């Protein structure tokens, strides 16, 4: 948008006085932040209305991205940038005596997600708006996002994260668009005059779903899409209930949108989670159908105007809910309703880990969602009947929706969708060949791959301004919306001047992170050391433990031989463990204990440091990733569906140290073997081990003296304060078979780390690798990912053509 500095200053002062009856000198940071947020909202409002008007007038097909999680992070800078007024506003604020960066810090991260899956949804809505894809987010407005992580004596402690405590300047509550969602009760089907079965409900509990809409502002375009998050409230008519009953019912109802991931270790917690899933699915679909009906088109044409995407299985109840609305409320028969449902819905699978494949006990489903359960039973019955003509009974049993007393959500999503995609080439192939091979056999044309992506605007242009300016100066500015232009950097690979400037930029970012580390932890780190970073959720398959065992081996090497030729390193960790995931929490404790030991041992001086930064989240990622030299992507091959932090690091010029897992394979294909450091088993070797049952972790402990020494350190008191944790972890590796092949990959990993050490000593060579990585990272922009979804799955328009 067009905005002069003078206009901005005048607008800001007026807004501040309207909201807080205040002038700049007397206002505090929060008031200034809220004012700026409201002002940005008012700037975006006109384009928001225009976008909706345009969609309506052109009769454009709309996409709704249903996701339990949206890990948005902060929005202030991104909104300013996307509106094209970042520099103007920064300068205007400065003239009024304010600092944009200080205002940015006031915003609390919207942490409505756990990790990669939720961040993917956030990247997708940014990219859809930027390329004028009519695509909107649909999810839950959790009052508390992911917990805040604190370390107490090295242990993770979870604290509530009340991200709404200062209000949320970006959202608008729309009570007039609220809908009712039904739970519990009895349902009877009765024939009406036309012979149609109509459900009659008794004793149901009604929950009012109130939408809060947030504008999703596209970059440099006039498109402003909508992120609609639902909040659970008491229905208005219940205001006549007796006082105490009212309060009780209110708190029960409001708990639906209270916390992301309720405690799933008990029945109540699991039930709440199922309520949440149906809550945002039902509210979302009801509101989509209401909007569609305004167009005056028949329900049988729904798939021409509406696509609904199911992000993982959490919204899989879209299948029976859309059927319910089409039949019970719109009077369609089963067959045409099913035809429409399958055409409207598409599904993304995010994991092959069996414990993450959702299923719900049939009795829980029947009690909480009686009508939905009836429809699921009928979907299952018809599926079994249809398949019986083509396949044997075993095949049907393996693939049907209801089996062993539970509802299989992935099966429901697959049977009810016209498209099923994996999130990286390797992952999609594993789905086809192993995890979903029966379904691939039955519905081959439904399967496709869409490799994940990241919005390169947030993950480079906004979070790494020194690198952004440098790239602009070399290849112009078009790469902001045409990220494969980054390829134009490749011819500079032997340009010493360019490589030196890249090194300087990395140094600036490392210094910025070092200052932050000092402020937050009191620890001084040497910025000439290699910054070796592993930041992601804590999970055994991601193998933070492998990283730690290697660090311990370096430590013992230095203890034995103080003159050992090791290039100085700062190992940086960040990440949360699920509150009930004891093993992952033990690894966190172990890393903190090792950090205590190593950081305070004068024998290793500045050679080795471990920094574990508390409370990893989007804003912290934006600070850490630009400062990384090495990107640790060391999951056991086959386990990480795609990974997206691997892409963020590559984009910022870190060299990837990786197994051939997820999208690491595609990074290798792009940059070549010389510009990535690979190690470890391949997915095929892992599957072979499973097949032969031939992995014996004890052998590696026995025959590798370095590993032996490191593992003994877990149990012999060498690392103070971890008796119990050290023993558990030792036992998991030696006694219980080392499920994720940590010991099998250790030696190869240590060799790869040695290679990192050697390569880093040649700064020009290292920066050349960094440059090749940056130049080839454009392919992983979520701009392309969503354009592929739009063209190949959703069949919707965008303003950008794909190649
Ligand atoms: C990108 C991102 C992730 C995903 O990281 P992976 O290493 O791909 O698992 C998780 N959390 C945050 C905050 C992120 O920004």
3-class DSSP state of 72: strand
Long-range contacts at 153-158 (CB < 8 A, ≥ 24 apart): 153/721, 154/588, 154/589, 154/592, 154/593, 154/596, 154/721, 155/585, 155/588, 155/589, 155/592, 156/576, 156/577, 156/585, 156/588, 156/589, 158/579
Quick one: pLDDT at residue 23?
83
Digit-coded pLDDT (tens) for 38-69: 999 999 999 999 999 999 999 999 999 999 99
Residues with CB under 6 A from ligand 1: 115-116, 119, 536-537, 617-618, 621, 643-645, 648
Q: How many whole angstroms from 47 Cα to the centroid of ligand 1?
A: 31
Q: pLDDT at position 197, please?
A: 87
Out of 110, 119, 148, 459, give the residue to mutate to test ligand 1, the one with the largest number of ligand atoms within 8 Å of its CB.
Answer: 119
**Residue nearest (by alpha carbon) to ligand 1 atom 2:** 116
Kindly give the pairing relationship between strand 630-633 and strand 655-658. parallel
The tens digit of pLDDT for each residue in 437-491 reads 999 999 999 999 999 999 999 999 999 999 999 999 999 999 999 999 999 999 9
- Asked if pLDDT for residue 263 goes beyond 90, the answer is no
Segment 296-309 shows an average pLDDT of: 97
Quote the tokens at residue 782: 């979520």
Q: What per-residue confidence (pLDDT) applies to 238?
A: 66
Closest ligand 1 atom to Cα of 622 = 15
pLDDT value of position 803: 56
Query: Residues with Cβ < 8 Å from 50, sequence gap 6 or more?
Result: 222, 224
How far does residue 447's CA lie from ligand 1's centre (Å)? Answer: 25
Check residue 456 and give its pLDDT. 98
* Per-residue confidence band for 142, with pLDDT thresholds at 50, 70 and 90: very high
Q: Whose CA is nearest to atom 4 of ligand 1?
A: 116
Residue 6 CA: distances (Å) to CA of 3, 104, 213, 484: 8, 21, 30, 36
What would the two tokens of residue 604 be?
């290793």
259 DSSP β-pair partners:
144
If pLDDT is split at 50, 70 and 90, which confidence band does 239 have?
A: low
Give the per-residue pLDDT at 22.
77
Active site residues: 350, 536-537, 542, 644, 648
pLDDT band at 31 (very low <50, low <70, confident <90, very high): very high
Residue nearest to atom 11 of ligand 1 (CA): 115
Q: Determine contact, residues 107/36, Cβ cutoff 8 Å.
A: no
Euclidean distance between CA atoms 136 and 497, whole angstroms: 44
Q: Show the beta-strand stretches assigned E in 243-390.
A: 306-311, 345-348, 359-361
Helix, strand, coil shares, percent, the chain, to 5: 55, 15, 30
> Going from the N-terminus, what domains does the chain have, and what CATH number goes with each?
1-58+75-108 (no CATH), 59-74+109-452+786-794 (3.40.50.2000), 486-780 (3.40.50.2000)
591: Cβ contacts below 8 Å, ≥ 6 apart: 544, 548, 573, 610, 612
Cα-to-centroid distance, 318 and ligand 1 (Å): 27
- Condensed to tens digits (0 to 9), the pLDDT of residues 744-777 reads 999 999 999 999 999 999 999 999 999 999 999 9
What is the 334 CA–ligand 1 centroid distance (Å)?
41
Q: Determine what percent of the chain is predicted with pLDDT higher than 90.
A: 93
Residue-level pLDDT at 262: 74
- Rounded to the nearest 10 degrees, the angle between the axes of helix 723-734 and helix 705-713 is 140
Pocket probe mutation, ligand 1, options 124, 644, 777, max atoms within 8 Å of Cβ: 644
Provide mean pLDDT across the span 689-697. Answer: 97
**The two structure tokens encoding residue 172:** 């608008």
H or E element, residue 225: strand 224-233
Coil, strand or helix at 769: helix
115-129, 178-192, 347-361: least confidently modelled range:
347-361
- Give the orientation angle of helix 116-130 with respect to helix 76-83, to 10 degrees: 20
Per DSSP bridges, beta strands 306-311 and 62-66 are: parallel
The mean of the pLDDT values for the chain is 96
User: What is the 616 CA–ligand 1 centroid distance (Å)?
Assistant: 9
Average pLDDT over residues 599-606: 92
User: Ligand 1 pocket: which of 111, 120, 537, 647 to mutate (most atoms <8 Å of CB)?
Assistant: 537
- The residue count of the chain comes to 803
pLDDT confidence of 802, banded at 50, 70, 90? confident
Which atom of ligand 1 is the closest one to the Cα of 535? 7
Q: Supply the pTM of this predicted model.
A: 0.97
């Amino acid at each position: 948008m067009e905005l002069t500095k003078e206009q901005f200053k005048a607008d800001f002062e007026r807004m501040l006085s309207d909201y807080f009856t205040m002038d700049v000198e007397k206002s505090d940071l929060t008031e200034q932040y809220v004012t700026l947020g409201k002002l940005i909202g008012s700037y975006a409002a006109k384009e928001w209305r225009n976008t909706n008007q345009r969609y309506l007038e052109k009769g454009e097909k709309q996409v709704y991205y249903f996701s339990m999680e949206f890990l948005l992070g902060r929005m202030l800078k991104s909104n300013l940038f996307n509106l094209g007024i970042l520099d103007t506003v920064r300068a205007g604020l400065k003239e009024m005596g304010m600092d944009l960066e200080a205002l940015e810090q006031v915003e609390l991260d919207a942490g409505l997600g756990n990790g990669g899956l939720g961040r993917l949804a956030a990247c997708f809505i940014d990219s859809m708006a930027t390329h004028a894809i009519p695509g909107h987010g649909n999810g839950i407005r959790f009052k508390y996002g992911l917990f805040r992580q604190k370390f107490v004596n090295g242990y993770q402690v979870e604290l509530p994260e009340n991200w709404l405590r200062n209000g949320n300047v970006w959202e608008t509550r729309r009570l007039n668009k609220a809908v009712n969602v039904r739970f519990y009760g009895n349902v009877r089907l009765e024939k009406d005059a036309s012979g149609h079965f109509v459900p009659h409900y008794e004793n149901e509990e009604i929950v009012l779903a109130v939408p809060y809409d947030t504008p999703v502002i596209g970059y440099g375009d006039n498109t402003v899409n909508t992120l609609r998050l639902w909040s659970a409230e008491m229905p208005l008519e219940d205001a006549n209930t007796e006082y105490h009953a009212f309060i009780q019912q209110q708190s029960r109802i409001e708990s639906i949108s209270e916390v992301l991931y309720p405690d799933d270790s008990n029945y109540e917690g699991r039930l709440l989670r199922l309520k949440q899933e149906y809550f945002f699915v039902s509210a979302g679909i009801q509101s989509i159908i209401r909007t569609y009906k305004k167009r005056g088109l028949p329900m049988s044409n729904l798939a021409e105007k509406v696509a609904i995407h199911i992000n993982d299985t959490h919204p899989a109840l879209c299948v029976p809910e859309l059927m319910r609305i089409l039949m019970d409320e719109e009077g369609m028969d089963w067959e045409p309703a099913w035809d429409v449902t399958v055409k409207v819905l598409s599904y993304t699978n995010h994991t092959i880990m069996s414990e993450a494949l959702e299923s719900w006990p049939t009795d829980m489903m029947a009690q909480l969602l009686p009508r939905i359960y009836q429809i699921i039973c009928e979907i299952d019955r018809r599926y079994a009947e249809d398949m019986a003509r083509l396949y044997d009974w075993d095949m049907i049993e393996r693939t049907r929706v209801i089996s062993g007393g539970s509802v299989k959500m992935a099966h429901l999503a697959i049977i009810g969708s016209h498209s099923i995609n994996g999130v990286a080439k390797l992952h999609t192939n594993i789905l086809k060949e192993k995890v979903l091979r029966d379904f691939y056999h039955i519905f081959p044309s439904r399967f496709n791959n869409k490799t994940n992506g990241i919005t390169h605007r947030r993950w480079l242009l906004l979070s790494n301004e020194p690198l952004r300016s440098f790239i602009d100066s070399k290849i112009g500015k078009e790469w902001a919306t045409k990220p494969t232009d980054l390829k134009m950097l490749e011819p500079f690979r032997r340009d010493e001047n360019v490589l030196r400037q890249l090194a300087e930029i990395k140094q600036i970012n490392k210094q910025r992170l070092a200052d932050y580390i000092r402020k937050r932890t009191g620890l001084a780190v040497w910025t000439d050391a290699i910054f070796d970073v592993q930041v992601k959720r804590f999970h055994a398959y991601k193998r933070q433990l492998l990283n730690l065992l290697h660090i311990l081996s370096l430590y013992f090497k230095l203890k034995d031989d103080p003159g050992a030729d090791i290039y100085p390193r700062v190992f940086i960790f960040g990440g949360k463990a699920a509150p009930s995931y004891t093993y992952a929490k033990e690894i966190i404790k172990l890393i903190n204990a090792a950090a205590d030991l190593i950081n305070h041992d004068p024998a290793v001086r500045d050679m080795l440091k471990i920094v574990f930064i508390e409370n990893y989240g989007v804003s912290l990622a934006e600070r850490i990733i630009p400062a990384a030299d090495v990107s640790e992507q060391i999951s056991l091959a086959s386990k990480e569906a795609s990974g997206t932090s691997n892409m963020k690091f590559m984009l910022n010029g870190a060299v990837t140290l990786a197994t051939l897992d997820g999208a690491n394979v595609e990074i290798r294909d792009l940059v070549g073997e010389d510009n990535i450091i690979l190690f470890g088993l391949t997915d095929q070797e892992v599957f072979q081990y499973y097949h032969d049952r031939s992995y014996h972790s004890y052998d590696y402990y026995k025959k590798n003296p370095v590993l032996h020494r490191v593992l003994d350190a877990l149990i012999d008191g060498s690392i103070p304060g971890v008796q119990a944790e050290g023993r558990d972890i030792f036992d998991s590796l030696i006694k219980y078979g080392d499920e994720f092949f940590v010991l099998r990959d250790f030696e190869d990993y240590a060799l790869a780390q040695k290679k990192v050490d050697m390569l880093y000593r040649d700064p020009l060579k290292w920066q050349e690798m960094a440059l090749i990585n940056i130049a080839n990272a454009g392919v992983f922009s979520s701009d392309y990912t969503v354009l592929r979804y739009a063209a190949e799955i959703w069949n919707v328009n965008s303003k950008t053509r794909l190649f």
